[in-house]
Amino acid sequence: MSGEKHMVNIRVPATSANLGPGFDSLGLALTLHDDVEAELTGPGVEVTVEGEGAGELDLGEGHLIVKAMRKAFDRMGMKQPEGIRLRCRNRIPHARGLGSSSAAICAGILAARALGTGELSDDEVFALATEMEGHPDNVAPCLAGGLTIAWTHQGGSPRMVKLVPDARIRPVVLVPATRLSTEAARGLLPKDVPHKDASFNAGRAALLIAALTQRPERGLLLAATEDRLHQDYRAPAMRASADLVERLRAVGVPAVVSGAGPTILAFSTSDSQDLIAPEVGNDWHIQLLDVDPDGATVQVPETR
């Protein structure tokens, strides 16, 4: 691969999906990031991990970023490189509902595109990331940033629309020590739901778009984040999270389960910031974040 780029730096944001009523469709990029340095090397795979997942993750071919890179190289019709070296600085908690797997998948695909010799359009990156993740609601904001609406187009290809949230929106994530896999959380969902609940969520999801982009008032956000499709069904697997959501909402804080949980996402408004901490207690890590407007970024270091 003489003369080609051999190293790239990727930054990918944490994401919160669903946002209450927008099950499998709405997502928000957050200012909490993983940084990945990817390099094409001699034979073999070498992965180092700092921060979240250190001492737990596979440090070879089984690492999710490596898998994503391999799939992207194949999708571009490239011969696989002799070796890959990754240095991962992880800040996104794993198995907490903040899109850690989506971040790894997006990082791997973008790294392969930057380092490879083939072509992969933005739509193809999104499609491959969705294929690997299984649904588009986390990968869409991870790639695009901001607030995204994702859906599956005719023929099965994913699509997204990016919106700009009102500047007053301040996401707060409440992260517990416990973990919950997306697969376990999805396993609790029923195959069918009452028509009235589907209608309820459709109205709330539409209202949420208006609240997040135009009128981020606490009362409107509280109504807009109501859900009847997934949170109650998943509550037995994360009782502490369900109870905290209920307490926060009871005092007027717009709070939802982030993704599949067990992290909680709350929207902090000027008249609700002081209401959150008293309800949380010591078993949760509270992080006041912003909306990441840009999504994943790619930087190729200058060669000396």
Burial 146-167 (b: 16+ CB within 10 A, else e): bbbbbeeeeeeebbbebeebee
Quote helix, strand, coil % in the chain, to nearest 5: 35, 25, 40
Q: What is the CA radius of gyration of the chain?
A: 19
Mean local confidence (pLDDT), 181-189: 80
* Signed CA dihedral, 140, 131, 151, 223: sign only: negative
8 Å CB contact between 112 and 40: no
What pTM did the predictor assign?
Answer: 0.93
Q: Which residue has the tokens 């996104």?
A: 92
Domains annotated for the chain, with CATH where assigned, are: 7-163+291-299 (3.30.230.10), 170-288 (3.30.70.890)
Q: What are phi and psi of 159, to 5 degrees?
A: -135, 160
- pLDDT band, very low/low/confident/very high, at 3 (cuts 50, 70, 90): very low
Structure tokens at 195: 């028509």
* Signed CA dihedral, 180, 181, 182, 185: sign only: negative
pLDDT tens digits, one per residue of 194-209: 999 999 999 999 999 9
Alpha-carbon span 173 to 285, nearest angstrom: 8
Res 1 pLDDT > 90:
no
pLDDT value of position 165: 96
Helix (H) / strand (E) containing 220: helix 218-224
Please state, as a whole number, how many other Cβ atoms lie within 10 Å of the Cβ of residue 35.
17
pLDDT value of position 5: 63
Mean local confidence (pLDDT), 252-260: 95
Spatial CB neighbours of 168, under 8 Å, sequence gap ≥ 6: 216, 269, 270
Alpha-carbon span 287 to 73, nearest angstrom: 36
The least confident of 85-89, 149-153, 184-188, 245-249 is 184-188
Res 124 pLDDT > 90:
yes
pLDDT tens digits, one per residue of 77-99: 999 998 999 999 999 999 999 99
Average pLDDT score over the chain: 92
Mean local confidence (pLDDT), 123-129: 97
Res 283 pLDDT > 90:
no
